[in-house]
């Protein structure tokens, strides 16, 4: 039974903002919130004040309305009925509006119907079509309190309803148009002022923050220049330092600058110590290799001279083995001496080298050394010329072919190809062997790297061949790479073409 774990949801990474942008955005956001709070408070306070004034005026208008109504009560529909209260008769509309302000609403309700409704204008009492607003008039509570309703084309009104003695309900109202226009005008002014101020603050804040962060930008530029310096080998100088003006410990940026300078001082001292140690090691290797060449040559000479005499078979075999190991040790010493010289930066001979002809000669030598391998050539008709040291480049090709011959079984096909690629010459050595283990690939060009456990070999190897290849190619301002899988391994060397 397999248990399924819930997949972790991966949220998209937000866009990274610069410190300058975050500071300006934060400052603008806080100011916008402050303006929003002040604006809302001001608009709400003004709206309440204006509504309070309207309510006072409405109270006065509601007090005046019944006086006109009492003086001119509506006539009953049936004059023969006396003593009965009837609110459905008609009344004198002009008598209702004495002392009222322009725009005042006067309406008389009887039961569930609107008997009359009029709005006062400058020309006197008018009766606009308020039929669509009857439902709103009938819904006004008769509690003597102010309420807000919509009168369709007339807009919003503040109204109050009162019960009369004859059963009629008088509705008195004042328009809210001027109040709403004042509030909207204030909101527009606050919004426009807010936008204008926020734009000015954002621009001014950007300028101020940019000036305030200039020291941090200079510190970052110094760190960037340091990051572009090669620190992996050779003598390294770190002259870059943060300016004194940006190392004031009383400021945050100054603390960062001072800390960066101290770190660069420590790194520079460490690099000097490392370079001195590497120089001593290289000098020791070079001196030891140079001193070992003579005794090894002597051992080989004496062993070869001794084998020329009539010696017992077992002694001759021992001398042969001695000569073979001395020869192998001589190759190791020569390789170490070459690497030491390359590490020390010894100048190479730079001259035009026909890479095509060099590869043909080297493959011929490899065919003689490994006749049981199948060697193939893929070279162009036109010569591919590079600038470099012919002897060292010959050693690069020879080492790659020796690596293919040593670490692949007999009968393996090895293909050597040369071709121009843009401004570079491309040399590839491909074999159909068992391949290189994945765990060895990252270390294949390191010194004394071995792959014997996974690739068969029939001859000894110093483990320095590919290290020499990388060192020589790097000295020629080129690159070398490897790609391997079972049944196919390709070493690719790229060198600049001769101008």
The pLDDT, as a whole number, for residue 1 is 44
The pLDDT, as a whole number, for residue 237 is 73
The pLDDT, as a whole number, for residue 9 is 53
The mean pLDDT values, 10 residues at a time, for the chain of 499 residues are 50 65 88 91 92 88 70 51 52 54 82 79 66 81 86 84 82 87 91 90 87 85 82 72 84 87 85 75 67 72 73 76 74 70 71 91 89 91 89 89 90 92 90 89 79 46 78 88 91 90
The pLDDT, as a whole number, for residue 3 is 47
pTM: 0.48
Measured CA to CA, the distance from residue 68 to residue 463 in angstroms comes to: 121
Strand order in the sheet with 105-110: 124-126, 113-121, 105-110, 169-175, 156-163, 147-150
- The 10 Å CB-count burial string (b at 16+, else e) for 368-389 is eebeebebeeebeeeebbbebb
| Residue recorded with tokens 């071709």 | 419
The pLDDT, as a whole number, for residue 416 is 93
110 near 88, Cβ under 8 Å?
yes
The pLDDT, as a whole number, for residue 97 is 52
The pLDDT, as a whole number, for residue 481 is 92
The pLDDT, as a whole number, for residue 344 is 66
- Residue 89 has phi, psi (to 5 degrees) of -75, 170
SS (H, E, C) the chain: CCCCCCCCCCCCCCCCCCHHHHHHHHHHHHHHHHHHHHHHHHHHHHHHHHHHHHHHHHHHHHHHHHHHHHHCCCCCCCCCCCCCCCCCCCCCHHHHHCCCCCCCEEEEEECCEEEEEEEEECCEEECCCCHHHHHHHHCCCCCCCCEEEECHHHCEEEEEEEECCCCCEEEEEEECHHHHHHHHHHHHHHHHHHHHHHHHHHHHHHHHHHHHCHHHHHHHHHHHHHHCCCCCCCCCCCCCCCCHHHCCCCCHHHHHHHHHHHHHHHHHHHHHHHHHHHHHHHHHHHHHHHHHHHHHHHHHHHHHHHHCCCCCHHHHHHHHHHHHHHHHHHHHHHHHHHHHHHHCCCCCCCEEEEHHHHHHHHHHHHHHHCCCCEEEEECCCCCCEEEECHHHHHHHHHHHHHHHHHCCCCCCEEEEEEEEECCEEEEEEEECCCCCCCCCHHHCCCCCCCCCCCCCCCCCCCCCHHHHHHHHHHHCCCEEEEEEECCEEEEEEEEEECC
The pLDDT, as a whole number, for residue 400 is 92
The pLDDT, as a whole number, for residue 305 is 74
């Amino acid at each position: 039974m397999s248990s399924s774990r819930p997949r972790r949801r991966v949220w998209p990474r937000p866009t990274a903002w610069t410190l300058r942008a975050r500071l300006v955005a934060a400052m603008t956001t806080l100011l916008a919130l402050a303006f929003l709070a002040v604006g809302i408070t001001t608009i709400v306070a003004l709206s309440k004040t204006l509504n309070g004034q309207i309510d006072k005026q409405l109270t006065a208008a509601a007090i005046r309305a019944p006086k006109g109504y009492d003086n001119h009560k509506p006539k009953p529909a049936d004059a023969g009925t006396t003593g009965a209260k009837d609110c459905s008769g008609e009344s004198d509309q002009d008598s209702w509006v004495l002392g009222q302000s322009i725009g005042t609403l006067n309406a008389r309700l009887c039961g569930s119907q609107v008997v009359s409704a009029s709005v006062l204008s400058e020309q006197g009492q008018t009766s606009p079509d308020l039929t669509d607003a009857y439902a709103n008039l009938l819904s006004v509570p008769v509690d003597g309190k102010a309420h807000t309703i919509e009168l369709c084309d007339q807009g919003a009104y503040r109204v109050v309803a009162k019960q009369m003695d004859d059963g009629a309900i008088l509705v008195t109202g004042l328009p809210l148009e001027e109040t709403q226009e004042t509030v909207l005008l204030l909101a527009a002014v606050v919004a426009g002022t807010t936008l204008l101020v926020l734009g000015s603050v954002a621009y001014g804040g950007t300028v101020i923050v940019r000036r305030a962060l200039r020291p941090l930008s200079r510190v970052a530029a110094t760190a960037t220049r340091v990051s572009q310096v090669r620190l992996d080998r050779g003598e390294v100088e770190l002259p870059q330092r943060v300016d004194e003006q940006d190392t004031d410990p009383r400021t945050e940026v100054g603390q960062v600058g001072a800390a960066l300078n101290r770190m660069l001082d420590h790194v520079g001292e460490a690099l000097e110590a490392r370079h001195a140690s590497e120089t001593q090691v290289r000098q020791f290797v070079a001196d030891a290799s140079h001193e070992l060449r003579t005794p090894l040559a002597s051992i080989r000479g004496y062993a070869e001279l001794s084998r020329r005499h009539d010696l017992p078979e077992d002694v001759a075999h021992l001398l042969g083995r001695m000569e073979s190991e001395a020869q192998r040790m001589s190759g190791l010493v020569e390789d170490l001496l070459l690497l030491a010289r390359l590490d020390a930066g010894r100048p190479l001979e730079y001259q035009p080298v026909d890479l095509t002809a060099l590869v043909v000669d080297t493959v011929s030598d490899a065919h003689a050394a490994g006749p049981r391998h199948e060697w193939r050539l893929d070279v162009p008709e036109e010569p591919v010329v590079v600038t470099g040291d012919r002897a060292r480049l010959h050693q690069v090709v020879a080492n790659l072919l020796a690596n293919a011959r040593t670490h692949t079984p007999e009968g393996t096909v090895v293909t050597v190809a040369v071709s121009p690629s843009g401004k570079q010459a491309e040399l590839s050595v491909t074999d159909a062997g068992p391949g290189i283990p994945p765990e060895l690939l990252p270390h294949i060009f390191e010194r004394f790297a071995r792959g014997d456990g996974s690739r068969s070999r029939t001859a000894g190897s110093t483990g320095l061949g590919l290290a020499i290849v990388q060192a020589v190619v790097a000295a020629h301002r080129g690159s070398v790479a490897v790609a391997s899988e079972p049944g196919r391994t390709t070493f690719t060397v790229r060198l600049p073409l001769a101008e």
